[in-house]
Each structure stands twice: as C-alpha cells, then as structure tokens.
Structure 1
Amino acid sequence: MSQGIDAGGAPRPVGAYPHARRVGDLLLMSGIGPRDPATNTVPGNEHDAGGKLVGHDIAAQTRAVFANVRAVLEASGARWEDLVDVTVFLTDMANDFTAYNAVWAEYFPDPATAPCRTTLGIDALPTPIAIELKCIAAFKE
C-alpha cells in the first residue's frame, strides 16, 4: 500500500502527480525544481527587457531546489538526513556542474553520510529551470 504526499510548502507539480509517494519505509519523490512555492518564479533566472530568459544562477537555483526538497521531506514526516539517493538533472552540465557541486558540498559536507548521487546533463526541463532533483529517502525507525 502506498500513500501520495502533497506538500503545501513546495511548488505545485507541473502535471498530474504527487510530490512524493510513501511505500513502506521509503519515500519516492517526483522531480522537484527550484520554483518559488509562493510566486512560482524561478530564483536566479535572468531576463532581458523583453522578458526572454537570457541566463541563470545555478547556485541560487540549487539552494532553492534543496529548500523545496526539504519542504516535501518535512511534509512527508522525513528529514534531510533521511535522503539516501538523489538523481540530479542539469540543463547546462558544462557550465553549471562546478557551482552546483560546490553548493552540494555545503549541504552535504561529509561524503560518508551524504546520499548517493547521480548527475545527468539533459537538453531541457518542462519549465524554465536549470536543475531538477529526483530523490529517495528512507524513514528511520
């Protein structure tokens, strides 16, 4: 039996799916991006005078996506420390990996206790974001 989780403190999903689903002692999270839950804006996005996206700040987006992941974890009864596996999607691996990796190290300073991680470079995400996380957490007894 599984239970879908809707986290009010995280941005609304962009499709018909829950923020997360609990299955036994595991929490499987849907892809979480850096959109601000209150305004739906993307922190760190830079636009020209005509409103066209011209750049982004991956450090700002990484911090924002971590805050959104934490909101889903807390709404699910889990903690940041319960993360066991994270898949990261970057739309600009060549330019963003180093800054993203530095922010990761701020949040997970000890590799021995950090979740496993896979980072993929992809062409695009469904909204104008540069990073998305897919996470799995394991509830502690």
Structure 2
Amino acid sequence: MATENEMLHSSKAPEPVGLYPHARRAGNLLFLSGVGPRQRGSNQVPGVELDEAGNITAYDIEKQCHAVFQNVRYILEEAGVSWNSLVDVTVFLTNMKDDFATYNRIYAEYFSENQPCRTTVEVSSLPTPIAIELKCIAAVGEKQTQR
C-alpha cells in the first residue's frame, strides 16, 4: 500500500504526459492524476483514428471508457487500494452531447456496487487525442462500508 505522502508511478498505466505521478497519498486519501485511455508504452488510444496531421477523425467512446476504467484500476491496485475505495470521480468529456449517454451507461456497470461522488464536465480538448479523462480520489487505510 502507498505510504503517507508517497508518490506512485504505475508499471501498467500509461506514462504521464508531464512531470507528475500517477497518484499521491496524503493522509488517508489517494489522489490520482488525470487518467486517460492510452495504452502503456505507446501513444495508442483504443478506438481512435487519426489523420496524417494527428487530428482525430473518428473515435469509439465505449472502447475509451473501458480503457480508462482499466487504467484507473491499474493505479489503484499498484497502490494497494481497492476499486470500492473510490470516493470521488471527476470526468472530463470532449463531447458531452454525443458521448454522455454511452459513458453514463458504462460508468453504471463499473460502479454498480460502489457509488463515489461524481462530477462530469465537458472540455474542448485534452492533452492527447482522447475523448475522456478521469480524476479520482480514493480512501485508504480504513474499512469501506456501503449503505
């Protein structure tokens, strides 16, 4: 488990695109940096098609949702924290109008048992050619109860 104030760099999640850790523990909380659907070791994004200039020509939000949730799980597991310890999720979508219904359906599959607080916002773009990014906070070192 991540120790107090420890920075975590996952061996499974995609490499950060800047100088920041995948996660950092502060007290009984684990803060995850923004996590996207890219695959570790490449710039590949599941379901994304790019033109010669690197602009997105098509994407599959369903594939990206599954990939981003898997990447969050990788970071949590390497920190010794369970999926059910998530207490807050902020979601950034680049196309709320077209993608929200699909994202919301898939989100419900992953969070049917644990239901963290959630905020979803639309942004004009993200740092890589992705359509979704998650910012998460998990509780650590305490028993998690459900009501």
TM-score normalised by L of structure 1? 0.92
SS of 1:2's partner is: coil
d(CA) in 2 for partners of 1:56, 1:101? 17
Q: Which residue of 2 aligns with 1:28?
A: 31
Question: What is the CA distance between 1:3 and its match in structure 2?
Answer: 1.0
Runs (4+) off by over 2 Å: 46-53
Question: What is the CA distance between 1:50 and its match in structure 2?
Answer: 7.7
d(CA) in 2 for partners of 1:109, 1:71? 19
Question: What is the CA distance between 1:47 and its match in structure 2?
Answer: 3.5
Aligned Cα RMSD in Å?
Answer: 1.6
d(CA) in 2 for partners of 1:57, 1:36? 15
Q: Which residue of 1 aligns with 2:122?
A: 121
Question: What is the CA distance between 1:107 and its match in structure 2?
Answer: 0.7
d(CA) in 1 for partners of 2:5, 2:52? 47
d(CA) in 2 for partners of 1:76, 1:49? 38
Q: Which residue of 2 aligns with 1:90?
A: 93
Residue 106 of structure 1, aligned match among 104, 109, 124: 109
Contact 2:10/2:74, CA 8 A, preserved across alignment: yes
Aligned ranges 1:37-76 → 2 under 5 Å: 37-47=40-50, 52-76=55-79
Deviates more, 1:31-40 or 1:99-108: 31-40
d(CA) in 1 for partners of 2:49, 2:99? 15
Deviates more, 1:39-48 or 1:68-77: 39-48
Residues 2 and 51 from structure 1, CA distance in 2 versus in 1: closer, same or farther, beyond 3 angstroms? Answer: closer
d(CA) in 2 for partners of 1:139, 1:92? 33
TM-score normalised by L of structure 2? 0.88
**2:124 aligned partner, one-letter code:** D
Residues 116 and 49 from structure 1, CA distance in 2 versus in 1: closer, same or farther, beyond 3 angstroms? Answer: same
Deviates more, 1:73-82 or 1:101-110: 101-110
Q: Which residue of 2 aligns with 1:134?
A: 135
Unaligned runs of 5+ in 2: 143-147
d(CA) in 2 for partners of 1:45, 1:51? 11
d(CA) in 1 for partners of 2:42, 2:22? 18
Contact 1:82/1:140, CA 8 A, preserved across alignment: no
Contact 2:55/2:129, CA 8 A, preserved across alignment: no
Q: How many residues align?
A: 139
Deviates more, 1:51-60 or 1:84-93: 51-60
Q: Which residue of 1 aligns with 2:145?
A: none
Question: What is the CA distance between 1:51 and its match in structure 2?
Answer: 6.3
